[in-house]
A and B are shown apart, each in its own frame.
Chain A
Amino acid sequence: MRAANIISQAAQSMDRYRVRAALMMLGIVVGISSLAILSSVGEATKRETMQRFKNMVGTFDTIIVRPGGGRSRGMPTLVNVPPTLRFDDANAIAAEVPDVKAIAEVQNAFDIDVQYRERTTSPAVFGVSCNWLELRSEDVAEGSFFSEEQNASLARVALLGADVRNGLFPAEDPLGKAIRIANVPFQVIGTLQSRGAGPAGAALDNIVLIPINTASRRLFNRDYLTMLIAQVKNPDQSTDATEKVAALLRERHHIRPPALDDFTITNPAVTMAQVTRAGSTLRKVLIGVSLMALLIGGIVIMALMSIAVSERRKEIGIRRSVGAARSDIVQQFLLEAVLVALAGGIAGVLIGVGGMQIVARIQKLPLILLWEPIITAILVALGTGLLFGTYPAWKASRVDAIQSLRS
């Protein structure tokens, strides 16, 4: 009962000293709103990054083998890779590494002219194996994918990415139409589902897929690959599989340490972890900034509260004279600090949610409202009030009642 009475006294005090309470809240509002915005935006960014990354690599259960050692020089294409990765390598990996479920061969080149009547566009052309869709978790939008027979017979068939389809056939059904890829005639047998944006905003839909054998013999006239995509049986053991594939390729390419590998293997799961870690570092920095704002807010509470204690010495004396123990005074002033901080925290969260909508709109991020950071923010505000209210509350309880009553 007494506790409830004191809570109500603290609330009345806030009402009586509204301007001061509002000023005290200010720092907390700034800190909490930025904390709420930053942590939610951070989370949204992380999810968006993961999504884009997934758009690019397809699935997380694949590892990618590229020819050439050392660092990559942008996207591999037939003109910038050494001719070291062969069709035989793909067959060998599929046959000898039990961890690998399936393997896709890729030959690709960018900026290839693709023509339909008087319309021309310059997408990336990918020669791929028949199991491409399965490995990449992609889907055909219209028509169908090419078959093993078509690949084996070097059929001139193509599937168009969403951008190419819309560019060449804005108002027509593309199925069965004849197009020319680098002046070689092909027949459109299907179109692909849109894949959305990649990590750097790459246009993943500006693409044409053709059978790998057709690409090799009839279009590019090359017998080496730009990429091998291996799907592992157990995604948790992709690192293990990576090692086995590397060992096999070294053996086949007669590479003995300290000679450098003539291939590079990327494991999307590992890369993803790095991307996410970079994101979380940024997030930590941002949260650090918010905590600084909160610290300042806390100090403002402490300073204004201390001034309030000096100004309210008489009130403290009066309360003591009618039966308030020192502990009651501590409770009241601590409660006032906590209530101010709590109100600031709630206001901060409301402003933060508003701010998040603005940021989400500007950054074109999905609006993600997470309960966890909101509850954390309010708890942090409470903690700030408690922490920085303690000293003024203690000071209030030490006020000499006799002195203050006489003045």
Chain B
Amino acid sequence: MIEVEKLSKRYKRNESAEVEALKEATFQIARGEFVCVRGASGSGKSTLLNLLGCLDQPSSGAYRLDGEEVSRYTDKELSRIRNAKIGFIFQSFNLLPRTTALENVEIPMVYGNGRVERQRARDALVRVGLSERAEHFPTQLSGGEQQRVAIARALINRPTLILADEPTGNLDVNAASAVMGLLQSLHGEGRTILLVTHDPAVAAYASREILLRDGAVVSDRTLNGNNRTDQGAL
């Protein structure tokens, strides 16, 4: 479903120097895989995630998502892909302030082609176990609840790919475990999940691990399915 070939991203640091944040990354991810991307900070994890999430355009290389070559897409086309095929989950939740949980979940529908269906947003909140919190503002929710609202938002347009960037980074152990449980059950429903983390316990939920160092893929391996249970709870 994801085919990445020699995908590179260079940034201009100043007039003369360029930084190559991602160097010719090449890999494929099949539908329904649960992949984690690991690496030290500055290793290119975020750059890769932004490229895969169509938030950024590569300097060179090819990126096919769901059969579409998107690496040369315009802003409008990339926006359509983000809206229809990708669900983001961020470390800092990124919910709109002064906006209820329900309204937050509705936002991706605003930029789709149909109308904003309140009932679908309610169903998504039920799915993440927050039906009672629909009218609450983010400031009235705990971190774990906010992240579950964000997951409901990521799911609302039924994306083919879920991109999670350190989703448990700001959460306590219990909340983290609830969030990972949700991701796991989404994986169980056949969704493709790509998770960026440097927490081994979180990484253990994945079935495959891509390791980055200095912008290059240095290892790509299938994880032992029992890893997670071996390490026990988070």
Contact = CB atoms under 8 A, between A and B. Distances in A.
A400 B67 CA distance: 28
B54 to A, nearest CB: 9
Given A318-B96, A321-B82, A406-B46, A5 B76 contact: no
Contacts of B107: 9, 318-319, 322
Contacts of A140: none
B55 A324 contact: no
B28 interface: no
B231 to A, nearest CB: 29
Interface in B70-86: 75-76, 79-80, 82-84
Contact of B82 (A6, A12, A323): A323
B94 A328 contact: no
Contact of B94 (A17, A314, A325): A314
A314 B84 CA distance: 21
B83 to A, nearest CB: 2
Contacts of A17: 98
A315 interface: yes
A405 B94 contact: yes
Which of A1, A5, A322, A325 has the most C-beta atoms of chain B within 10 angstroms of its own C-beta?
A: A322
A117 interface: no
B112 A325 contact: no
Contact of A5 (B56, B75, B99, B110): B110
B94 A402 contact: no
A317 B95 CA distance: 10
B209 interface: no
A258 B113 CA distance: 84
A119 interface: no
A401 B98 CA distance: 20
Contacts of B112: 2, 323
A322 B96 contact: no
Interface in B111-131: 111-116
A325 B75 contact: yes
Contacts of A1: 113-115
A363 to B, nearest CB: 47
Nearest to B99: A16
Contacts of B108: 322-323
B76 A401 contact: no
B153 interface: yes
- Interface residue tally of chain A, by bracket? 20 to 34
B53 to A, nearest CB: 7
A406 to B, nearest CB: 7
Contacts of B95: 318
Interface string B90-114: 1010111111000100011111111
A123 to B, nearest CB: 74
Contact of B111 (A16, A314, A328, A406): A328
Interface string B36-58: 00000000001000100101100
A326 interface: yes
Given A5-B110, A318-B107, A323 B115 contact: no
B103 A401 contact: no
Interface in A356-407: 401-402, 405-407
B88 interface: yes
A8 interface: yes
A324 B98 contact: no
A5 B96 contact: no
B101 to A, nearest CB: 14
Contacts of A406: 46, 92
A12 B96 CA distance: 12
Given A12-B103, A318-B94, A325 B109 contact: no
Contacts of B94: 314, 317-318, 321, 405
Contact of A322 (B50, B56, B88): B88
Given A12-B103, A16-B98, A318-B96, A323 B88 contact: no
A320 interface: yes
Interface string A297-335: 000000000000000001101111111111110000000
6 contacts: A1-B115, A8-B110, A9-B110, A321-B55, A322-B107, A401-B55
Interface of A: 1-2, 4-6, 8-9, 12, 16-17, 314-315, 317-328, 401-402, 405-407
Given A5-B115, A321-B53, A327-B75, 20 more contacts: A1-B113, A5-B111, A16-B98, A319-B107, A320-B82, A322-B82, A322-B88, A322-B111, A322-B153, A323-B111, A323-B112, A323-B157, A324-B79, A325-B111, A326-B75, A402-B46, A402-B50, A405-B94, A406-B46, A407-B92
Ranked 4 nearest A-B pairs via Cβ: A323-B83, A325-B79, A323-B111, A322-B108
